[in-house]
Structure 1
Amino acid sequence: MNKRLLKIAAVVLILFSVILINKFFRKSDNLLPEKRPNDWFYLQRAYPYNEINYTAYRDALAQAAKMKEEYKLHDNRVSWEFAGPVNIGGRVTAVAMHPANMDMFYVGAASGGVFKTEDAGGSWTPVFDDQLSLSIGDIALAPSNPEIIYVGTGEANPGGGSLAYDGLGVFRSDDGGNTWENLGLEESGSIGRLAVHPQNPDICYVAAMGRMFSTNEQRGVFKTTDGGQSWENILYLTDSTGAIDIVIHPENPDILYACTWERTRRPDKRNYGGETCGIYRTNDGGENWEELSNGLPGGPNVGRIGISISQSDPEILYAIYADKTGYFDGVFKTTNNGDTWTQTNDGALSNIYSSYGWWFGRIRVDPTDPDIVYGIGFDLYKTSNGGNSWSNIGWSVHVDQHGLNAHPLNSNFLVLGNDGGVYTSQNGGSSWEHLNNLPITQFYTSEMDYQNPDRLYGGTQDNGTNRTMTGSWDDWSNIYGGDGFYVLVNPQNNQYVYAEYQYGGLGRSTNGGSSFSGGTNGIGSDRFNWMSPLAFNPNNPSTLYFGGSKLYKSTNHAASWSAISPDLTNGPGQYNQTYGTITTIAVSPVNGQIIYAGT
């Protein structure tokens, strides 16, 4: 097979990597218009009834997996070449460390499965790629036998500027990730956290949030005592309230603490808090629960909560709160198993969540020192004196933190997962190393320079528009910011390159992508989607089409535009959202006067 065909195949492979979306426009209101990427993605697939058939969704995933296996049997199948990138990064939602081996840990990607390293991040092995769901909520190793691993699928962070996928339940491996078994809970939507009994690896607790866009009863806290062969829902409040976090007492595993979160999401509104948000404690393995309240926030404005228990002094716990609008609401500490709580001196954390605390919501206690605590949010904060003072230790890492572990053998060794990938620290967070070698970048689209097929381009979540000039998988670089969407290279003159960011932002380059200027001259005010369609006339690539609510045409390489249609949609809708827009454009390769636009 010639090299050109291999490059074309590589571009197609990248295209299938598609999806997710950024912090760039994240906010939170009680009733937010349907202008977020999750809603954009959901509505296109739920049309016309605003509801996805989840049975059909699972069947489609299974059919895709079957087709993949059948394809391998064909003698004339196309060969594929990995094109990267491995040096850009991507969103990491979960981190788990082997308790006896500091070189071995696992990370879970937002839509890329689970990766294992046995050399402290020098190299990685994908261990979950054959499963139907690659959206990871949490990973937990059994303390008594770390070859036993539980994985909860479905990201529990309800993206406002990023796309979060529901999963297909809980999986278990008994051989360090080589093989997996689906344990059920397929309707649980997203998994917030897993907690495994410290002595019995067959006892596992699951904090399940439920489906994002619909109410259902498979949410709350679930327990198995037989390794996942059966499950019991041991804490259930309502069909719109799930469990987002859970911890287990290391010395008395009948004591657990669970955080519940009332979360309602619809294409036209959202609610990220309410009366049923709280911390619950059981002293008998889940038979009975009591809500803890003495010193903790309560009422209708409580939002997402995270909790952590000290492994060295388990009477001490910390909880971090957001209000229902996404703002930070305090870090609270108990020294008596949750009977009473006091707020720490947390003024320095006032902006830890920015305005989207529903996107993070984690806190971690050092496994050997109960006074060392990490607050996980937009940035990463640390206290070394039990909450009397806090400092930002995340200045040098990518924003939006999701997972952090400190190793029990050396608690200065930290592994951090965020929207930029994986970082490690050898000194308790004083400095960080970016392990920028995971193939988890989330692509919306890809493009190839047809005059030089080694040059590959792609628009990505959280990492802008990127390209490689050589076709190698480890030398990609960013050429345009924001979240990257459509990117086009003129097939007859590769000096003209076009790249996008959110809601109709368009950049135009006349020097092969070395620099960009604004590319929307003549468009004016219009509605544009999260990802706005851009297309060439295939017979004359100096002519382009761009979709807002109207269709725009340029005949001079996007130097200027003019509308060639009226509003082709039914209007902006009740909430003046950015829907009611063109979502796809196709121009006939035979007759360039024939144009199709989908809305």
Structure 2
Amino acid sequence: MESSIDELIEPADEKRDPREGRRPPGGKALLRLQQHLEERGLVEVAQASVERAVADERRNEFDERARAFSAAPPGQASSPAGTDVHAVTAQIAEHYKSVALEEPGPPTGVPTATGPQWRSLGPWTIPNGQTYGSSRVNVSGRVAAIAVDPSNPAHVLCGAANGGVWESFDRGGSWAPRTDYAATLTVGAIVFDPRNPSTVFCGTGEGNWWSWLGAGILKSGNGGTTWSTLCTAPFTGQGFYDLVIDTANTQHMFAATIGGLYVSTDGGVHWTQRRAVQTWSLSITTTEILGACADGLYRSTDGGVSWNPVALPGSPGTFNRLAVSIARSDASVAYAWGANGATAYLWRRAGTAWTAQPIPPGVATGQAWYDWYCACAPDNANQIYLGAIESYRGDLSGNTWTWRTISNKGASGDSIHPDQHAIAFEPGRPDTIYVGCDGGLYRSPDRGITWTSCNNGLVISEFEYLAQNFGSSRWVIGGTQDNGTERWTGSPVWTHVADGDGGDCAINRTTPNTVFHTYYSMSPERSTTGGDFGSWTYLPPPVPAGEGSLFYPPMDASASGGDTIAIGGDALYVSRNNMTSWTRLPFPSAARSSAMYVPNANTLYVGSTDGRIFRTTWNGSAWGAVSALATPRANANMSDILVDPSNSNRLWVTYTTMGGGRVYRSDNGGSSWTDMTHNLPNLPLTAIDVDTWNSNRVWVAADLGVYQTLDGGATWADFSASLPNAFIGDIVFHPHARVLRAGTRNRGVWEIPVDGWMTTPVCGVQWTGSLNPNETKRWFTWGWPATWHMIWTIMPSTVKPGAPELTWTVQVQRADAEYATYWISVQNLTNVPVTFEGRYCILSRY
């Protein structure tokens, strides 16, 4: 999705990044995917993903441009020729599955009978979400699959890219998650058994993005409410695009995956690979099956045993994406919708002849590998729906096509979020369509003319970064994939505060109304009104032409006072005045920033994609040269840095690169490091935080789960009770509310009271005092966290029967952004001296 910066420099059909001109082929989604895989050391998977997404003749162009965003350590080798990528992804997926299921123990995240539990903060929905049209719309997160119950049109299932299967019984008006603790929450395809709709199948591993986390096929026997694993082989490590069931024999099934075209004759228990070529789309009738593959369109007339190529006039031969649809109302009519490089293709079959057709005006193919579909209207062989970045409806009259852009209405009309992934029709109502995109799920009752958001209660937003206000227990801001930056102030309905891609964010701890966020690349903005929509000012650092960064570069504000904020790319940029002016600090040798921490206004740490850590300090008049500390782990991606707030010599760092240590501790300011990974599972670690009351209590976030140590990293234990098995991008600990928060990809934001919720008040005596007869005095007590809910009482030391001895009033003064001072005025109502106790009672810290 575009940002306000994008709009200034890009034509609508070809988005650009602010530094490099036109984007590379494959778009921003491919840049993010490549970086995500490189950060985990999965270079061979990243390379294969690019080869599938980008046409050969544009591969060099992509590689050249992608280097400006790469997370791979400099000089990292490409995968050797002949590498079996499917074997690599199968091994990765198997490991993730073993961690998620914790066999033979309970699965990660399953609610426990005792101990604190995670709970969802939403977003239940996000109003005012972004579109390319004039209208605004409610959004959630990426939807990759949709299925409508053929026996009950109000019963809808949708699959979030990495948020699991969701079920609705009111046409998307409300939702419930159904696979939160499955081996994987990645979803690529869902299909109802057409003869027995209580049986539903789900192909895991989202082919569009999360393909390497596929864990086979899930099956439900109660319409999608509960699920179990039907099969794993041969799909472990493969992403699904499509699942189709033969209506004449429902034991006969077909699967389109990143690894090929598969057929089952026993209801999905066992599968045979019939084509070993990436397959995206399948369409079936009683007499034929069409399969859209990377090497073209193929047809089978013997139940999928053999496949023959279909000659498409003017076909490029190979595709970055191809979709197919046979008309239900006339099986002699079919459509194929494909992309190769910058060119889109549409063919129509009438009878036995395929002919090329005109395409919708303005179609962008840069992300065809990621967002693409084709579906013929169930009741009209002359009407089709095509998905790309936008959704289109085509109506054929005679030999003339009329094209309508149904997702982007421009100056007037209902618009929906761009980047289209899935479409479904309501049985018995061909006018009603569902579309799934990066913004969630939408329903149209009139073939795309008007739209209703189905995102209320669909808690699948993709958060990668979080920041919070320490003076409030209910204030969080976060960056989301393709849905901008969102803010929570206690309601399950979050506020959309900035458009574009939501990157890293930060808050000035001393003046929390000063808030910062980024889009992709080195693009920070500042708000001085707490991040209200429309209040942001673009204040970029002076990045020289050709200097790169991660897609989402790290940014941080001082953790303990001052107006220092920094952002890191191939150099470090730091401001001491809330981004009003910047200082560029080069690294001592080539490095790309990947992690950052600013413990105070005068000290800054930054980590790199090749595992090094650097420091700079303010000497009173200037920033010192960036100097390298000892390297905890070389040639691995550093994901987070933390300095213990009670001991500036104790540093923690985490890494996402698997196959080695992923959390390290230094007790001497970075002069040496100790690997504290110990019994943690071999998963990427994305973030770390520490308990401000106990330096030996630390939490780390992994691709699956959160883990806690109580002994400074010597041992770790799962800390994920009730947390879904989603990818976790960031964690932040609120020291006063005593809650840990996690931003997940496709399951929103969650929090856990690390000590459990308070069930009884915490009470004590704060001071003792005395008053002369009829005297009034005022006391104050300071340093109380403003988030705490407190009651103050005055109790005479010796209680005498009769009339009241004392009366008091309490006034609250906000001492600073985080703490409150309580002024207690006490009056002696008697004509004798009285001594008393000033007592407090903490009702809640939240």
Question: Scaled by the length of structure 2, what TM-score is found?
Answer: 0.58
- Distance, in Å, in 2 between the alignment partners of 1:454 and 1:53 is 40
| Structure 1 match to 2:155 | 104
Partner of 2:536: 516
Q: How far is the alpha carbon of 1:355 from its aligned partner?
A: 2.7
Q: What code does the residue aligned with 1:510 have?
A: T
2:320 is matched with which residue?
303
- Over the aligned positions, Cα root-mean-square deviation in angstroms equals 3.1
Deviation at 1:146, TM superposition (A): 1.3
Q: Check the 8 A contact 1:111/1:165 in 2, yes or no.
A: no
Answer with 1 or 2: which has the greater Rg: 2
CA distance in 1, matches of 2:378, 2:29: 42
Partner residue, 2:462:
442
Asked whether the equivalents of residues 29 and 370 of structure 2 are also in contact (C-alpha less than 8 Å), the reply is no
After superposition, where does 1:20-99 map in structure 2 within 5 Å?
Answer: 27-29=23-25, 36-46=31-41, 54-66=90-102, 69=107, 76-88=114-126, 89-99=140-150
Letter in 2 for 1:305: L
- Contact residue 412 and residue 428 of structure 1 kept, 8 A: yes
| Conservation of the 8 A alpha-carbon contact between 1:550 and 1:581 | no
- State which of 401, 412, 432 in structure 1 corresponds to 2:420: 401
* CA distance, structure 1, for counterparts of residue 435 and residue 30 of structure 2: 30
Name the structure 2 match of 1:5.
none
Tell me: CA distance 1:292–1:366, structure 2 relative to 1, closer, same or farther (3 Å). Answer: same
Change (3 A) 1:592 1:434: same
Q: Is the 8 A contact 1:523 1:561 kept in 2?
A: no
Secondary structure of the residue aligned to 1:384 is strand
C-alpha deviation, 1:168, in angstroms: 1.7
Q: 1:353 aligns with which of 364, 367, 371?
A: 364
Q: Aligned residue for 1:482?
A: 500
The correspondence for 2:293, drawn from 260, 275, 299, is: 260
Confirm or deny that 1:344 pairs with 2:357.
Answer: yes
Partner SS state of residue 556, structure 1: coil
For 1:452 and 1:28, locate their aligned partners in 2 and report how far apart those are by CA, in whole Å. Answer: 42
TM-score, structure 1 normalization:
0.81
What secondary structure sits across from 1:169 in the alignment?
strand
Secondary structure (helix, strand or coil) at the match of 2:564 reads strand
Residues 305-343 of structure 1: per-residue CA shift (max 9 Å, x gap): 1100111211111111111x1x3422111122xx42012
Q: Which moved more, 1:539-548 or 1:95-104?
A: 539-548
Deviation at 1:87? 1.1
Question: In structure 2, what is the Cα distance between the partners aligned to 1:305 and 1:229?
Answer: 27
Select which of 619, 622, 641 maps to 1:586.
641
Distance between the aligned counterparts of 2:370 and 2:485, measured in 1? 23
Q: CA deviation at 1:508?
A: 1.6
Q: Assess if the C-alpha contact under 8 Å between 1:169 and 1:186 holds in 2.
A: yes
Where in structure 1 are there 5+ consecutive unaligned residues? 1-21, 210-218, 262-276, 573-577
Mapped contact 1:569–1:580 kept (Cα < 8 A): no
1:554 paired with 2:554, answer no
2:282 maps to 246
Structure 2 CA distance for partners of 1:354 and 1:288, relative to 1, 3 Å = closer
Distance in 1 between residues matched to 2:261 and 2:270, nearest whole Å: 14
Measure the CA separation in 2 of the matches of 1:567 and 1:356.
37
Which residue pairs with 2:393 in the alignment?
Answer: 382
Q: 1:33 to 1:539 in 2, by over 3 A?
A: closer
Amino acid at match of 1:315: S
Once the two structures are TM-superposed, the CA of residue 350 in structure 1 deviates from its matched residue by: 3.8
Please tell me the residue identity of whatever aligns with 2:176: T
CA-CA distance at 1:581 after TM superposition: 10
Give the alignment partner of residue 476 of structure 2, picking from 448, 456, 466: 456
For 1:504, the equivalent position in structure 2 comes to 522
Name which of 321, 331, 339 aligns with 2:346: 331
More off after superposition, 429-438 vs 76-85: 76-85
Residue equivalent to 1:173: 220
Q: What is the CA deviation profile of residues 68-98 of structure 1, one whole-angstrom value per residue up to 9, with x for unaligned ones? A: 7477686652133321102121111111111
Match of 1:370 among 371, 374, 381: 381
1:322 aligns to 2:349 (yes or no) = no
Which residue number in structure 1 is paired with residue 275 of structure 2?
235
In terms of mean alpha carbon deviation, does 517-526 or 80-89 score higher?
517-526
Bigger share in strand: 2
Q: Which runs of 5+ in 2 are unaligned?
A: 1-13, 43-75, 80-87, 127-139, 409-414, 594-607, 613-637, 656-846
Distance 1:316 1:305 in 2: 17
Shift in CA distance, 70/334, structure 1 to aligned 2, threshold 3 Å: closer
Q: Distance in 2 between matches of 1:565 and 1:523?
A: 11
CA distance in 1, matches of 2:358, 2:311: 19
Say if 1:135 and 1:167, in contact at 8 Å, map to a contact too: yes
Give 1:29 deviation, angstroms: 3.9
Q: Which residue is 2:204 aligned to?
A: 153
Sequence identity (%): 25
Deviation, 1:499, is 0.6
User: Structure 1 residues 581, 164: closer, same or farther in 2, change over 3 A?
Assistant: farther
1:530 and 2:551 are equivalent in the alignment: yes
Q: Is 481-490 or 352-361 further displaced after alignment?
A: 352-361
Query: For each residue in 1:238-268, what CA deviation from the matched residue of structure 2 results, as whole angstroms up to 9, or x when unmatched?
Result: xxx311111111x33xx2111111xxxxxxx
Letter in 1 for 2:289: L
Confirm whether residue 201 of structure 1 aligns to residue 256 of structure 2: no
Q: Offset of 1:123 from its aligned partner?
A: 1.0
Given that 2:344 and 2:363 are in contact with CA atoms closer than 8 Å, whether structure 1 keeps it comes out as: no
* Aligned partner of residue 98 in structure 2, secondary structure: helix
The offset of 1:39, in angstroms, is: 1.1
The Cα offsets for residues 321-378 of structure 1, whole Å up to 9 and x where unpaired, read as 111x1x3422111122xx42012243xx142234322222311111122112111122
CA distance in 2 between partners of 1:554 and 1:472 (Å): 33
Deviation (angstroms), 1:284: 0.5
Whether the aligned pair in 1 keeps the contact of 2:423 and 2:436 (CA below 8 Å) is yes
Look up the equivalent residue of 1:258 and give its one-letter code: G
1:412 to 425, 431, 435: 431
**Aligned amino acid, residue 220 of structure 2:** S
Give the counterpart letter for 2:384 in structure 1. Answer: V
Secondary structure at the aligned position of 1:55 is classed as helix
TM-superposed deviation, 1:541: 4.6
- Number of the residue aligned with 2:240: 191
Name the structure 2 match of 1:269: none
User: Is the counterpart of residue 223 in structure 1 residue 272 in structure 2?
Assistant: no
SS at match of 1:388: strand
Q: Is the 8 A contact 2:571 2:587 kept in 1?
A: yes
What's the counterpart of residue 4 of structure 1?
Answer: none
Matched, 1:426 2:459: no
Stretch moving more, 504-513 or 113-122: 504-513
Inter-CA distance 353–156: structure 2 relative to 1 (3 Å threshold): farther
Say if 1:383 and 1:69 are closer, same or farther in 2 by CA, change over 3 A: closer
Instruction: State the one-letter code of the partner of 2:255.
Output: V
1:24/1:482 contact within 8 Å kept: no
One-letter identity of the residue aligned with 1:180: S
Query: Relative to structure 2, which stretch is displaced further, 419-428 or 580-589?
Result: 580-589
